[in-house]
Amino acid sequence: RLLIIDFGSQVTQLIARRLRELNVYCEIHPFNKVDDAFLRAFDPKAVIFSGGPASVFSEGAPMPPASVFDMGVPILGICYGQQVMMHCLGGKVERGHGTAEFGRAYVTPAGDGLPLLDGWFADGREQVWMSHGDHVSAIAPGFQVYGTSPNAPFAITADPARRFFAVQFHPEVHHTPKGAKLYENFVRLAGFHGDWTMGAYREEAIRKIREQVGDQKVICGLSGGVDSSVAAVLIHEAIGDQLTCVFVDHGLLRLGEAEQVVTMFRDHYNMPLIHADESDLFLNALEGVSDPEVKRKTIGRLFIEVFEKHAKSVGGATFLAQGTLYPDVIESVSFSGGPSVTIKSHHNVGGLPEKMGMKLVEPLRELFKDEVRALGRELGLPQSFIGRHPFPGPGLAIRCPGEITRDKLEILRRADAVYIDQIRKHGLYDEIWQAFAALLPMRTVGVMGDGRTYDYALALRAVTSVDGMTADYYPFTHDFLGETATRIINEVQGVNRVFYDCTSKPPGTIELE
Ligand code: XMP
């Protein structure tokens, strides 16, 4: 496996993505966790130093342990990682002073025969993405220059004998079009065969789950979302009926959702499943509540209570399974250290394991979202589950701004089902990251037949996104929007007006609350 030492770059995760695309298994660890003992235990086959915002001149500048250079493994330093390498190995780094480079630059070759650059420089130069203030001013002994750019005379340097490579630019970003090729060359010369597949991951994960759990019992909070579904199926494959799933139905699910989840897991996969129908509990507690944060916190608190109650009924479960993904666990290197603002209190089962004295089983901790989908496919989960849009823990509560009532929820459920049906019929579901309807807390006047109506207004939302952190609204055609509005108003009693939400994130958020 390959070790990425994170010096705090914004794009470190992209390095991992590029390597996974090459079927190479890698892990990101923050520089301050990587010491001699860590390196020995990890035993990497190759190491990458990420970029980072620091300067090697600053006090306490992030550095790798010196022993990393004595392991005999190939090392690739990127941007700050290059400067670190030069600094540690006897080269020189200088402060910016007019030579800072941000954005597109062109590198031209300055030496031949470097295997890292196979397939590069076909047109005599290569576009790369730079983002640096300091720069290397003298390379370390043993190094040679293989590429230069106008502001970075040492854009590509290497000590081929020791297999140390250092580049000033960022090969992991899309603006370095042949960046993937550079990573491919690096892992090949490091001896990786690109054989890390989902089939292999599945086998390995099953072995690890069995080893961790032994003959103990495990409970898993199943939401029907992709992550918890894949985690549950995988764990069930590993330990069978030692696993019990608890599906908390808070009465804020979409049309037919509870039945689908129960059918899939109880009937199809034959898993022990507790269907905790607690809609009265949740909806009664939410009566009269209109503040978004109070709603979220109420739901979060009840969810934990209900889960705990049912977990007890399983009797002696010592493990709690969660569908935690890799982006949730990477410890980001924060240099600002300042408190960040809470935009929304996210609902999850946080705090539960400590409270209940349980240990965690998290078989997806090493995977990105699309890898979880691939694993789900590998495990035979149907596409209708794997390709599902994300659905928030607090469910329809945050798609019904203001006070929630059972009547409003019923209208929303039916309108949402028509909207999603429209999207599927037009073949757009997989192009959209997330789509849903929201019932606005207002009524408007309309006319249907010869009569006056005074009904709810509905907002339709559809966004494209990569990770939910930023998003853009989906550009439906006017025909699609017109047809959908007509269908909803005709088919769903209680709605007489439909709006389309054209807000991106930021400044909006994806959900309305
Ligand atoms: P926002 O509304 O913050 O949503 O732009 C970003 C993504 O997160 C989902 N979301 C949640 N997911 N628990 C979840 O598991 C929550 O409390 C929660 N709130 C928002 C939202 O659906 C979108 O995909």
- Give me the pLDDT at residue 214, please: 97
| pLDDT on residue 337 | 39
- Give the number of the atom of ligand 1 that is nearest the alpha carbon of residue 391: 22
Q: What is the dihedral of CA 226, 231, 234, 236, to 10 degrees?
A: -110
C-alpha distances in Å from residue 480, one per residue of 157, 260, 364, 419, 425: 54, 28, 38, 10, 11
What is the dihedral angle through the alpha carbons of 170, 171, 172, 176, rounded to the nearest 10 degrees? 100
Taking the C-alpha atoms of residue 170 and residue 248, their distance in angstroms, rounded to an integer, is: 45
Catalytic entry in 29, 101, 132, 172? 172
User: For ligand 1, is residue 51 a contact (CB within 6 Å)?
Assistant: no
Q: Which of 489, 511, 484, 501 is nearest to 423 (CA)?
A: 484
Q: Is 225 annotated as a binding residue?
A: yes
Q: Taking a C-beta distance cutoff of 8 angstroms, is the pair 205, 237 a contact?
A: no
Residue listed under structure tokens 């997330």: 434
- Helical segments of 348-504, H only: 352-356, 369-378, 383-386, 406-425, 478-491
Question: For ligand 1, is residue 224 a contact (CB within 6 Å)?
Answer: no
Cβ of 392 less than 6 Å from ligand 1: yes
According to the model, what pLDDT value does residue 466 have? 80
For the Cβ of 226 lying below 6 angstroms from any atom of ligand 1, the answer is: no
Integer Cα distance of 483 and 485 in angstroms: 6
- Pocket probe for ligand 1: among 328, 510, 512, the residue whose CB has the most ligand atoms within 8 Å is 510
Q: What is the CA radius of gyration of the chain?
A: 27
State the closest ligand 1 atom to the C-alpha of 344, by its place in the atom list counted from 1.
3
DSSP string over 121-137: -TTS-EEEEEEESSEEE
Rounded-to-integer distance, Cα 342 and Cα 223, Å: 24
CA 452 to chain centre: 48
Q: What is the pLDDT of residue 342?
A: 66
pLDDT digits 0-9 by tens, 384-407: 889 999 999 999 999 999 999 999
- DSSP conformational letter for 348: S
Which member of 29, 132, 135, 170 is catalytic? 170
Question: For ligand 1, is residue 467 a contact (CB within 6 Å)?
Answer: no
- Look at residue 101 in the predicted model and tell me its pLDDT: 76
**Alpha carbons 427 and 382: distance in angstroms, whole number:** 18
Residue 352 one-letter amino acid = L
Q: Return the HEC string of 214-262.
A: CCCEEEEECCCCHHHHHHHHHHHHHHHHHEEEEEEECCCCCCCHHHHHH
Domains of the chain: 2-189 (3.40.50.880), 198-386 (3.40.50.620), 400-500 (3.30.300.10)
pLDDT confidence of residue 336: 40
Residues of the chain short of pLDDT 70, as ranges, are 97-99, 329-344, 346-353
pLDDT at 132: 81
The pLDDT assigned to 415 comes to 98
State the Cα–Cα distance between residues 96 and 158, nearest whole angstrom: 22
